[in-house]
Structure 1
Amino acid sequence: MSHTATLTKEQQGSLLDLLQEEVPKAPNHSCGLLFLHCAGGMSGTPGYVEAFIQSIPGAGRVYRDRESGIVALLLPGLTLSAAHYQALLLKQHLLRIKPDADPRMALTALTDIPAVHMLNSMAESVRLSITSDIQIFTEHSPSGASKILIVDHDDAVREFLQIRLELQGYHTLEAHDGLKALELIPQWKPDLVLTELNLSGIDGLPFIHHIHQLEVDAPPKIVILTEKRVEQTISQCFQHGVDDYVTKPFSPIELDARIRRCLH
């Protein structure tokens, strides 16, 4: 018997409600939850996911939002580490079927009914993310946790900042250049943009200026994290509405303090 629950167009708005109902039914109220979106496009994704979970002990269940293409996978009884292992295997499985599928994944492990804000953040994460890394969400993330957009051309820097900030309970999203960041800000509405000045497409002060020109209800705070140390550049950044400026190499503890000061 199929374990796939396919949501009709009229039912799309109930996906998060449905997940909240299903999690408490898991054995010992423990459940892995994976959100998946194939950015490269992949028709039949729910079927491929369902075929994969037949190899996992215990009954899994697959849900799909037809409009967004997001797939939600419940893994009853799995801890975060076990669910992460299965997510890695699923990623390999999908890439074998279609090498350019480009799966984006967000993962959590739950012991209680999940908060709507976290489910929303996970869904946004897989829909908007530019990274193929599996993003981890935790139940201890506070309700209304601040959202930080990380903008840097260096993959290693973005990964380090994402891991550090998410461990502190922030929700994060990444952009590798200024143009992508300007596209993401109105969609995701971050509370703070943590950005390098040297970016492709658009960078430096023009990038900062364009952030302030975006039509958003609440403009994000802006913290510059860059190798540029020229006093004139620093002064110009503050004149253009930057909230703080940190030079590389930086102290992670100092950066944490600067971000907290901007957000609170």
Structure 2
Amino acid sequence: MPESVTLEREQHEGMYHNLEERLKKTSRELCGVMFLYLGTDSPQLENQVRESLRQETGSEIEVLKDASTSTLAILLPGLTLDKAHYQALLLKRHLEETLPDADPRITLTAFPGQVEPTPGVLRQMAESTRLSESSDIHIFTKDEAVSEPGRILIVDNDDTIREFLTIRLKMQGFETLEALDGTSALELIEKWEPDLVLTELNLYGIDGLPFINQIQQLPMENTPKIVVLTEQRVERTISQCFQHGVDDYITKPFSPVELDARIHRCFQ
């Protein structure tokens, strides 16, 4: 995966994790959350939104931006869902009056409420805003929230294998990222926090058991599960991997159906 694409994906994911952390800090207090999408990237939009809402609410308003889609996430501390909806109506009217041809799309909810503010739910809210075909303000409910997909990091220096695994896993609803070697994989694991690492043992730089040990020693709250997918068939190597905490070991060439079953077993 090109470095620029990986960086953009990290920035995209990071916004929702930052938003989750901010909401966790105020988990006992009401906070309205509004997602806004205009379809055009106005350089002054963030300041305009922040100032308009500050004047209406009398509070300091935090605005975060998903740089990859230009969707804004707006925190409205202390507001119930009804009050957040009223502020959304005022903001929508303000944008329509001040920006030529503006057709804002807005989705909102309030926390604590019907849904948990996980990165998956927050991304889903942002995506429903961006893809909305209605100009009506949308109230996001628990009936729309789907389970957050599992995250799988694919580590292999074979471009064909990575591409095949990425396509197959995404078709099953998993989120995926790719790494070419052990060093870049360790960096991504700490930043992206995957649920599972699907890895070859023969990697550039750090590989094999030292790579597995490094994963397990990362300062993370939840260490990812590890599934080895490798050409190594030596019985001693297989035994050592399980002794070091690997969840499954699959040899190449492999059956895609069997691989699917073993990966799904790790998420049960």
TM-score, scaled relative to structure 2: 0.52
**Residue number in structure 2 paired with 1:70:** 67
**2:170 aligned with 1:166, yes or no?**
yes
**2:40 aligned with 1:61, yes or no?**
yes
- CA shift for structure 1 position 231: 0.7
**Residue number in structure 1 paired with 2:207:** 203
**Residue number in structure 2 paired with 1:81:** none
Instruction: Give 5+ residue unaligned stretches, structure 1.
Output: 1-11, 23-58, 75-111, 124-139
**Residue number in structure 2 paired with 1:117:** 120
Instruction: Give 5+ residue unaligned stretches, structure 2.
Output: 1-17, 23-32, 47-62, 72-105, 109-117, 127-143
**Residue number in structure 1 paired with 2:137:** none
1:21-36 to structure 2, matched below 5 A, reads 21-22=36-37
Q: 2-side partners of 1:159 and 1:261: how far apart? A: 22
Q: 2-side partners of 1:217 and 1:72: how far apart? A: 29
Map Cα deviations across residues 224-251 of structure 1 (whole Å, 9 max, x no partner): 0001111111011001110000001101
Map Cα deviations across residues 70-90 of structure 1 (whole Å, 9 max, x no partner): 23158xxxxxxxxxxxxxxxx
- CA shift for structure 1 position 21: 4.2
2:201 and 2:207 in contact (8 A); partners too: yes
Which of residues 223, 228, 238 in structure 1 aligns to 2:227?
223
- Give the secondary-structure state (helix, strand or coil) at the position aligned to 2:41: strand
Rg comparison, structure with higher value: 2
**Residue number in structure 2 paired with 1:244:** 248
- Give the secondary-structure state (helix, strand or coil) at the position aligned to 1:61: coil
Q: 1-side partners of 2:156 and 2:207: how far apart? A: 10
1:178 and 1:200 in contact (8 A); partners too: yes
- CA shift for structure 1 position 152: 0.5
Which of residues 249, 252, 257 in structure 2 aligns to 1:253?
257
- CA shift for structure 1 position 263: 1.4
- CA shift for structure 1 position 155: 1.1
Q: 2-side partners of 1:63 and 1:158: how far apart? A: 37
Which amino acid in structure 2 is aligned with residue 206 of structure 1?
Answer: P
What do you get for the CA RMSD once the two structures are aligned? 3.5
- CA shift for structure 1 position 117: 1.6
Q: 2-side partners of 1:185 and 1:72: how far apart? A: 24
- CA shift for structure 1 position 186: 1.4
2:121 and 2:148 in contact (8 A); partners too: no
Q: 1-side partners of 2:229 and 2:145: how far apart? A: 24
Q: 1-side partners of 2:253 and 2:70: how far apart? A: 40
Task: Mark the CA change 1:157 to 1:248 in structure 2 (over 3 Å): closer, same or farther.
Answer: same
Which amino acid in structure 1 is aligned with residue 235 of structure 2?
Answer: E
2:198 and 2:226 in contact (8 A); partners too: yes
**Residue number in structure 2 paired with 1:187:** 191
Task: Mark the CA change 1:156 to 1:235 in structure 2 (over 3 Å): closer, same or farther.
Answer: same
Q: Percent identity?
A: 56
Q: 2-side partners of 1:258 and 1:209: how far apart? A: 22
